[in-house]
Amino acid sequence: MKSQNVLEILNWATALFESTQIENPKLNTEQIISHVLDVKRLELYLHSSDVISEDEIKEIQSLIERRRKGEPLQYVLGETFFYDCWIFIDKNVLIPRPETELLVEKVIDEHQKVKSILEIGTGSGAIAIALAKNLNLDRIDAIDISNEAIKLARKNAIENSVNINFYQSDIFENIKGKFELIVSNPPYISGKEYEKLPAEIKNYEPINALLASENGLIFYKKILKNAKEYLTKNGKIYFEIGYDQAERIKEIANKNSFDKVNVFKDLNGFDRIIKIG
């Protein structure tokens, strides 16, 4: 491709996306080009006549082709924005969802004085980082079974200037001490639901971060079975949950001697967050 300016590349790339099933062609184009040029998306049009270098054009073409094939934009860019935090992501971790911001928001709103938190299944570290940035904590530990996820989470903590203790651990396997809160967005998609997920999710996001046995409930069962050993006297648990799992998780909590259970809905009116204890 010959030398072109920003506006010409914007028009060319948008037309390419319009020929696919990708939603919001213009937005995808703007985000990819602003990422490569290292400018804010809305500033692109202030630089519309600037000539783009050959190397930059090649990088834009490469990223656009990946996106056109269905790879999620967040993986294409290698980063995403979550609760006022820039988070690096890759194929080893789940893309943080807007619904998960509700989990963070609920904890922050209800526990301004909390001093210790354990996050189970941290992935990119997004939840723990957002909590660490918005609460005056003495200790926040975050664990994941994936060493690759832990490496990325540590990188994200440094990028966001927060202190978090990250551990490779299969749930409570390597955890010591007690916490005022346990927070988790565990895998909760059942096998039947997994088969119905869009290809953009199934083909790119890590299956271990999505799929859970026993109708999506296995991790809630494992955590609730042993949680009291790691909670302070009045400690509480916050989970993100599937839209149809609230009643079953309530039963699991009651079975493990947790009597207080509250469910909160997301912006679409679906059960999304459950508070236990």
The pLDDT tens digits along the chain (277 residues) read: 567 888 888 888 888 888 887 888 889 999 999 999 988 888 888 888 888 888 998 999 999 999 999 999 999 999 999 998 999 999 999 999 999 999 999 999 999 999 999 999 999 999 999 999 999 999 999 999 999 999 999 999 999 999 999 999 999 999 999 999 999 999 999 999 999 999 889 999 999 999 999 999 999 999 999 999 999 999 999 999 999 999 999 999 999 999 999 999 998 999 999 999 9
Please name which of 70, 102, 100, 74 lies closest in space to residue 89, comparing C-alpha atoms. Answer: 74
Please give the order of strands across the beta sheet that includes 165-168. 165-168, 139-144, 116-120, 179-184, 231-240, 271-276, 261-265
Give the tens place of pLDDT for each residue, 117-141: 999 999 999 999 999 999 999 999 9
Question: What is the predicted pLDDT for the residue at 25?
Answer: 87
Please name which of 226, 90, 81 lies closest in space to residue 148, comparing C-alpha atoms. Answer: 90
CA distance 89 to 67: 15
Domains by residue range for the chain, with CATH = 4-69 (1.10.8.10), 84-276 (3.40.50.150)
Question: What is the predicted pLDDT for the residue at 89?
Answer: 96
Rounded to two decimals, what is the model's pTM?
0.92
Query: Is 88 exposed, middle or buried, given 0-12, 13-18 or 19+ CB atoms closer than 10 A?
Result: middle
CA distance 148 to 21: 32
Question: What is the predicted pLDDT for the residue at 1?
Answer: 54
- What is the token pair recorded at 277? 């204890």
Strand partners, 118: 141, 182
Q: Which amino acid type is present at position 173?
A: E
